Every structure is written in C-alpha cells, then in structure tokens.
Amino acid sequence: METNNSTLRWANKFPDLGTDPIPVEPCIAPEFYDREKERVFARTWLKVGRVEEISNVGDYKVKKIHFAKTSVILIHGKDGVIRGFHNTCSHRGNKVIVEHGEETFGRNKAAVVTCRFHGWVYDAKGALVQVPEEERFPPCFEKSQGSLTPVNTDVWEGFIFINLAEKPDRSLKEYLGGMGTHLAGYPFAEMSQVFSYNTMLDCNWKIALDAFSEAYHVSTIHAGSFPNVFSSGLSDVELFGEHRTTGICLSLNAKPTPVAGIANSITGASLVSQRGSSMLPPGVNPGRQNDFSFELSVVFPSILIHISEGIWFTHQFWPVAHNKTMWEGKYYVKPAKTNSERWATEFAQVLQRNAWLEDTATMEDTHAALESGAKQHMFLQDEEILLRHGYKVLKQYIEQ
C-alpha cells in the first residue's frame, strides 16, 4: 500500500516499504525461527568482537554462538592476521578452550591453543602441530588432516566479523556495502574505555532489536532517565541494501537535571548534551544539525552501531530460541584523565545503563502478550520506518 499523505515523510521517501500492518508470526513461531537460523544467521556476517580485545600476537577470544550450537576461537597470529575456528578438537570433539561465560579471553606467547583433554596443539592458522604419543596412531592418521575447522573471518573498521557459511556469497565489504562507507573513518579505537552488559531475555530477537530501533518510545519509557531530552522524530533516514540508518535528535529546549548538567560540563561522555561533529564521517548528520545526538545504524540481521562525538555504543541480539535472546550492550568513551572526568564518565554510563534497563524491561512482556494470539498484526507509525525495512529484508531472506 502506498501513501501520499504529507505527514508520512518516510513512507513517501521509501514507498516500496508500504504502510501495511506487519504480521506477528515472525516474532513468535518456532518454525519461522528454524528458517531464520538456516537462511539468515548461518549465511550472513555477524560481529563477534573488536581487534583491541585481541591486539597482541597470541591473544585469543572464544565467543559462544548459541543458535549454531558452537563457539568460535578468534586468535591473533604471528603474521598479524586474526582468524576464526570452531572450538572443536579434531581428536574426539572436545572443546579446545573451555568457555567462561559468553566471551572468554586468553593469551599464549607461542600463538597456539591446546586441548585440555589429550593435549593436541593447534597454531594460529588452525594447523595441528603437536599430538602426544603420535606414534601410537595407525598409519591412516595424518596430522595434516587434523586442522581446526575454519570459520570465515574478516575485519572492518576494527570490528571482527564471522560468517558460518562454508563459502559466503559475498565478502564482508560487499555485504556491508553502503553502510560500510557510511560509517567508515569514524575513530572507533580512540574511545577505548568500554562498559559491557549482557543478559538473557525471554523474547524473540526481533522484539529486542525493534525496541532499540526507534525513538517513538523515548518520551514514555525513558521519562525517568532522559526526561524530554530526545525528539521522537528521526532525521536523515537512509537504506543500504539489507542495512538501515538514521539520526537521533535532541530536544534543544530540554533542561538537564542539576547533576547531569554538572557532568556534561566536565566531559562529553553523556548523550544528553549537545554534541560536535569533528569525528563524524561526511554522511552522518550531513547537514550538521545542532540538535543531532547520535547515529543509529542497524547492520542486518541484529547489530546496532551508534556513533556520536566522543561516544559510540553497540547492541547485539543473539538468537538462542524462538523465545530467547542474548542481549549484549557495550558503551565506549575516552578514558578519563582526572578524577572529575572519571566521576562524570561513571555518571554518564550509569545513566545509559538505566536507560537500557528501561528498554529491556518491555521486551519480555511484548513477547508474552504476542504469544497469547490476541493480535495477529502490528501497526507501525511512520517514525518506525527502520522496523518496517527490517521485516521486509527478513522476508526476502526467508523466501529466497
């Protein structure tokens, strides 16, 4: 359905997305989730880390990938290349590295990893380099055939991505397309202090993603954390193939709380203050509006990257089941140089954490209510255009 209503600016800009209600089935049906695992998550590029996390030779990270029932070893080789491998020993299938939580970190100066079960050793290229009592294996055993199973791995702007397909249909650069260009050049590494959060949510991954992909909810859900701070209207919405982006704007007449005002005067670690644009790539806030707060970019299927002056943060939604999602939120700022800057930074991240708690508090109720079957469709407002685009892209993947 198309529209010429002048108040529906995004529907008019992107008429191919239509204005029809969105079915709820993709959010609650186990069968739909099974197709998503196969046709979406098993084939697309997924963010699993940052190069700063494993910046030295021999550093490694193990990342759980719930939907694929695996975990992936990311290791920094002597040649400077970061490679990924399934965390499965070639001997009898034990985990080479035992995970502790969602992400596990370690280091080996020789840039090798060793299976604790029988001591098989693998180098940073995945090759099997040492087998205890190798002479006891039969002649058919060839060490050269015992490498770790590789996972396609690539890096963009310091973000480490994997693709679980045996042979991806596109490179990471091709997959990101215009979104990669749109965000390229932002100095992500300069904001090296990170505050990380994660929790398991009893909801579908799209319900969680959708809650962070619009500003319509800000005046209600964030009335406590960000009273009258942000506008519900989006700016500069752009679609890049599977991906989408928009600017989030401030309400310039909003007055911060006394404590927030003091913190904002010390450091720019909070989103509630007016921001500059010296760090922004040319396509982000192209008109250099003074009410710009941050860019909200959604990388299909389930990664949000937000950039602003002196701050950036991410949300990622890992599917675990049709009704269960692992949410990860990471907030990056420049390290504080003084005690007052440390206080202001801590205040900003606590405020942001509280806002994220407000966001996540809606998700399980949404899923539970939809599972009742009382509603078959969702009605989206024009400013929820990113959600509409996401469901259209998802449908294309499911039907291919």
CATH number at residue 354: 3.90.380.10
pLDDT of residue 351: 87
Based on the fold, state whether residues 67 and 141 are members of the same structural domain. yes
Based on the fold, state whether residues 17 and 80 are members of the same structural domain. no
Assigned domain for 193 exists: yes
- Section 58-82 average pLDDT: 97
pLDDT of residue 1: 40
Assigned domain for 172 exists: no
d(CA 312, CA 321): 29
d(CA 317, CA 267): 30
Based on the fold, state whether residues 21 and 95 are members of the same structural domain. no
pLDDT of residue 251: 79
Range of the domain at 155: 46-167
Q: Which of 133-142, 252-261, 329-338, 370-379 has the lowest mean pLDDT?
A: 252-261
Residue whose C-alpha is closest to residue 246's, from 297, 306, 299, 310: 297
Based on the fold, state whether residues 77 and 139 are members of the same structural domain. yes
- Asked if residue 171 has pLDDT above 60, the reply is yes
Based on the fold, state whether residues 311 and 193 are members of the same structural domain. yes
Based on the fold, state whether residues 372 and 232 are members of the same structural domain. yes
Assigned domain for 35 exists: no
d(CA 371, CA 365): 10
First to last CA, the chain: 23
Confidence bin at 274 (pLDDT 50/70/90): confident
Mean pLDDT (the chain, rounded): 93
Calculate helix-pair angle for 258-266, 339-371, nearest 10 degrees: 120
Assigned domain for 4 exists: no
pLDDT of residue 5: 66
> How is residue 317 written in tokens?
């939604």
Tell me the per-residue pLDDT of 89-128, one tens digit each, with 9 for 90 and over.
999 999 999 999 999 999 999 999 999 999 999 999 999 9
What is the CATH number for 98?
2.102.10.10
pLDDT of residue 230: 79
Based on the fold, state whether residues 110 and 54 are members of the same structural domain. yes
Tell me the per-residue pLDDT of 15-56, one tens digit each, with 9 for 90 and over.
999 999 999 999 999 999 999 999 999 999 999 999 999 999
**Residue 353, Cβ density class (10 Å: 0-12 exposed, 13-18 middle, ≥19 buried):** middle
pLDDT of residue 152: 98
Contact 319, 67 (CB under 8 A): yes
Based on the fold, state whether residues 84 and 120 are members of the same structural domain. yes
pLDDT-above-70 percentage for the chain: 98
Based on the fold, state whether residues 268 and 385 are members of the same structural domain. yes
Based on the fold, state whether residues 140 and 187 are members of the same structural domain. no
d(CA 227, CA 254): 8
- Section 283-292 average pLDDT: 93
* Residue 323 or residue 262, greater confidence: 323
Q: Which of 130-134, 239-243, 287-291 has the lowest mean pLDDT?
A: 287-291
Based on the fold, state whether residues 345 and 205 are members of the same structural domain. yes
Assigned domain for 203 exists: yes
Assigned domain for 224 exists: yes
Query: In angstroms, how far is CA 101 from the centroid of its own chain?
Result: 18
Q: Give the count of domains, the chain.
A: 2
- Section 202-217 average pLDDT: 94
End of a domain among 143, 167, 191? 167
End of a domain among 122, 148, 167? 167
Q: Which of 90-99, 129-138, 230-239, 370-379 has the lowest mean pLDDT?
A: 230-239
> What is the amino acid identity at position 121?
V
Based on the fold, state whether residues 15 and 51 are members of the same structural domain. no
pLDDT of residue 261: 82
End of a domain among 114, 137, 167? 167
* Residue 257 or residue 205, greater confidence: 205
Residue whose C-alpha is closest to residue 49's, from 202, 128, 200, 157: 157
Contact 60, 73 (CB under 8 A): yes
